[in-house]
Structure 1
Amino acid sequence: MDFTEKRLHEAAIIIDAVCPLLEDQGRIADYRAGGLTAIAPTVGVWDGAMVTLRTIGAWHKLLRERDDLILVRIAADIRKAKALGKTGIIMHFQGPAPIEDSLDLVDAFKALGVGVMQLAYNVKNRLGDGCEERTDAGLSRFGLQVVERMNQARMIVDCSHTGVRTTMDAIEYSSAPVIISHANAKSVYPSPRNISDELIKAIAKSGGTIGVVGFPGFVSGDKRPTIDQFIDHIAYMCDLVGTQYITLGIDYYGGQSPYVDERAATRMYERALANNSWSPKAYPAPPHYYPAGIETPKTMLALTEALLRRGFTAEDIRKIYGENLLRIYENIWGE
Structure 2
Amino acid sequence: MDAAEKPLHEAAIIIDAVCPLLDDQSLIADYQAGGLTAIAPTVGYWHGADVTLRTVGSWHKLLREREDLVLVRSAADIRRAKALGKTGIILHFQGPAPIEDNLDLIDAFKALGVGIMQLAYNVKNRIGDGCEERTDAGLSRFGLQVVERMNQVRMIVDCSHTGVQTTMDAIEHSSAPVIISHANAKSVYPSPRNISDEMIKAIAGNGGTIGVVGFPGFVSADKRPTIDQFIDHIVHMCDLVGTQHITLGIDYYGHQYPYAEDRAAMMMYENALADNSWSPNAYPPPPHIYPAGIETPKSMMALTDALLRRGFEADDIRKIYGENLLRIYETIWGE
TM-score (norm 1): 1.00
Query: Residue type of the partner of 2:208?
Result: G
Aligned-partner Cα distance in 1 for 2:149–2:135 = 25
Aligned to 1:332: 332
Question: What is the Cα deviation at residue 3 of structure 1?
Answer: 3.0
Residue 44 of structure 2 is aligned to residue 44 of structure 1: yes
Helix, strand or coil for the counterpart of 2:40?
strand
Aligned-partner Cα distance in 1 for 2:129–2:314 = 39
Aligned-partner Cα distance in 2 for 1:325–1:74 = 11
Which deviations, in whole Å up to 9, do the C-alpha atoms of 1:293-312 show, x marking residues without a partner? 00000000000000000000
Aligned to 2:13: 13
Aligned to 1:95: 95
Which deviations, in whole Å up to 9, do the C-alpha atoms of 1:114-142 show, x marking residues without a partner? 00000000000000000000001100000
Aligned-partner Cα distance in 2 for 1:108–1:206 = 27
Which deviations, in whole Å up to 9, do the C-alpha atoms of 1:216-253 show, x marking residues without a partner? 00000000000000000000000000000000000000
Counting only pairs closer than 5 Å after superposition, residues 1-335 of structure 1 correspond to structure 2 as 1-335=1-335
Question: What is the Cα deviation at residue 2 of structure 1?
Answer: 2.7
Aligned-partner Cα distance in 2 for 1:259–1:183 = 22
5+ residue gaps, structure 2: none
Aligned length: 335
Aligned-partner Cα distance in 2 for 1:103–1:123 = 21
Which deviations, in whole Å up to 9, do the C-alpha atoms of 1:51-87 show, x marking residues without a partner? 0000000000000000000000000000000000000
Helix, strand or coil for the counterpart of 1:115?
strand
Query: Residue type of the partner of 2:144?
Result: L
Which deviations, in whole Å up to 9, do the C-alpha atoms of 1:90-120 show, x marking residues without a partner? 0010000000000000000000000000000
Query: Residue type of the partner of 1:282?
Result: A
Question: What is the Cα deviation at residue 4 of structure 1?
Answer: 1.6
Which deviations, in whole Å up to 9, do the C-alpha atoms of 1:239-280 show, x marking residues without a partner? 000000000000000010000111110000001001100000
Aligned-partner Cα distance in 2 for 1:99–1:163 = 19
Q: CA RMSD in A?
A: 0.3
Which deviations, in whole Å up to 9, do the C-alpha atoms of 1:144-190 show, x marking residues without a partner? 00000000000000000000000000000000000000000000000
Aligned-partner Cα distance in 2 for 1:45–1:207 = 26
Helix, strand or coil for the counterpart of 2:115?
strand
Aligned-partner Cα distance in 2 for 1:20–1:135 = 27
Question: What is the Cα deviation at residue 325 of structure 1?
Answer: 0.2
Aligned-partner Cα distance in 2 for 1:270–1:230 = 26
Aligned-partner Cα distance in 2 for 1:2–1:289 = 26
Aligned-partner Cα distance in 1 for 2:2–2:257 = 29
TM-score (norm 2): 1.00
Query: Residue type of the partner of 1:102?
Result: N
Helix, strand or coil for the counterpart of 1:208?
coil
Query: Residue type of the partner of 2:25?
Result: Q
Query: Residue type of the partner of 2:39?
Result: I
Helix, strand or coil for the counterpart of 1:80?
helix
Helix, strand or coil for the counterpart of 2:284?
coil
Query: Residue type of the partner of 1:204?
Result: A
Query: Residue type of the partner of 1:262?
Result: D
Helix, strand or coil for the counterpart of 1:329?
helix
Query: Residue type of the partner of 2:170?
Result: A
